[in-house]
Chain A
């Protein structure tokens, strides 16, 4: 792996750190397996590229992309909270609907914005991504330490007691889903701008990549419970995941190709989930 490849890996790792953070909010904080992200990642990319291609300021395009993502999360939350549709299914429904909606937004399967101005001025993708990730982390740490944010964390741990302390569990769930998908859509918008295009299938596997990053981070940081260490573990997990993937794809001896990415990811997730159980079994013997 040369230095250019390495920088590219860090760059994608940083952008996908936002995906990891989004997935962490749903899977870990509110204990909701949300699959909406596969759709909302593309939505973020689609909205941002279409607006940039039509001459809008890239920052405004990015903000609209974030808002679009939060709407997607709201739909999933509404289906689950109001109509009692299984969380997993609610996410799949929204994700499926988003495929068509994203195509509507884009009008075609892919859009290039190679020559338009993006939020990344020239060659500083890493530094701008880094700043955005840091700001997101600070804002989220503040939010989850607030009275409101603490209540959101509460519903994931103990919904029954949350209610008896007056926390509206359904409302908090929807807020968390909106927040998560807004952040994932931001990642989509950044990814499209860094790559110079949006593609209808670019969100495929987002959930599993996010989950892999979360799990890798947790394995290394020993399941942090406090919010700031947990977010840092997501970011680290995402970068390490990308480095691992880059190495796997670069080792020509194994014969892996780029299209093996999802297979490798699934295997990494499976292994990291199986390992702690194997360890337990061995120590029990």
Chain B
């Protein structure tokens, strides 16, 4: 279980530009829950993600994962628990390395890296199996450089890479924002499939009113650094994107 307790983030603290980006955020995410987050620009969605990943240290408050306080841990130190798929398909992978090398780096997330060879046939089988979930034929291209893949393929690969090791939470930054709508849809479906199959606890930012309700099982709406709506269960199932838009007229 992921718990955010009274999280406060202030940018430019003590200056005229002081900006309370997150105000007293309290949030509990239970295991295998898939939460979608929506909100306008400056609502604090990305900051919330960055607090969970360790990119930003909160000025106040605690982050607990399975009762363990991880608030002070660096990005690297919490990487064994927190996996992240970046928004830009060019950002989530290592472009100069081959698919199998990318996966080998990802495979060691949360584990000590040693001087032993980073690849072997057993690992390659494992990678092939993981890639075949995508149905993109990438399992036959293990030795290809990632820079030769399309944006959608890279995005799918970076998703698979995060699933090679267990994590307590998967962060998805406005994932398919940089892709064309058709591929974005494919990627979203794969994302949902993989999250369900591996019973992952996931948090996803999106800008799309339909996506935010279509995927996941709980939706959080943010506005000016606060969680203003927390929609789940029956209420969420009957909610339409139009209703959701009304919520924006605060």
Residues of A at the B interface (CB closer than 8 Å) are 142-143, 145-151, 153-154, 157-158, 160-169, 225
Contacts and interface: CB of A to CB of B under 8 A. Distances in A.
Interface string B91-112: 1111111000100111011110
Given A143-B115, A149-B118, A154-B94, 19 more contacts: A146-B114, A146-B118, A147-B108, A148-B113, A150-B113, A150-B118, A151-B105, A153-B94, A154-B97, A160-B86, A161-B86, A161-B93, A164-B79, A165-B79, A165-B108, A166-B109, A166-B110, A166-B111, A225-B96
* Residue with the highest number of chain A CB atoms closer than 10 Å, among B82, B116, B145: B116
A51 to B, nearest CB: 29
Contacts of B214: none
Given A157-B96, A164-B83, A166-B79, A148 B114 contact: yes
A142 B106 CA distance: 19
B94 A157 contact: yes
* Residue with the highest number of chain B CB atoms closer than 10 Å, among A145, A163, A166, A169: A166
A195 B104 CA distance: 45
| Prevailing SS type, chain B contact patch | loop
Interface in B24-80: 53, 75-77, 79-80
Interface of B: 53, 75-77, 79-80, 82-84, 86, 91-97, 101, 104-106, 108-111, 113-119, 145, 158
A158 B108 contact: no
B94 A151 contact: no
| Prevailing SS type, chain A contact patch | helix
A147 B115 contact: yes
A165 B106 contact: yes
Contacts, number: 88
A162 B145 CA distance: 17
Contact of B95 (A150, A151, A158): A158
Contact of B105 (A142, A154, A160, A225): A154
B113 A147 contact: yes
Contacts of B109: 165-166
B76 A158 contact: no
Contacts of B114: 146-148
Given A147-B104, A153-B97, A161 B92 contact: yes
B71 to A, nearest CB: 17
7 contacts: A151-B105, A157-B95, A157-B96, A158-B95, A163-B79, A165-B108, A166-B111
A197 B236 CA distance: 81
B91 A160 contact: yes
A283 to B, nearest CB: 21
Contacts of A162: 105
A169 B79 CA distance: 13
A145 B75 CA distance: 25
Given A145-B118, A146-B117, A147-B114, A166 B94 contact: no
B116 A158 contact: no
Contact of B119 (A145, A163, A165): A145
Contacts of B84: 164
* Residue with the highest number of chain A CB atoms closer than 10 Å, among B76, B110, B114: B76
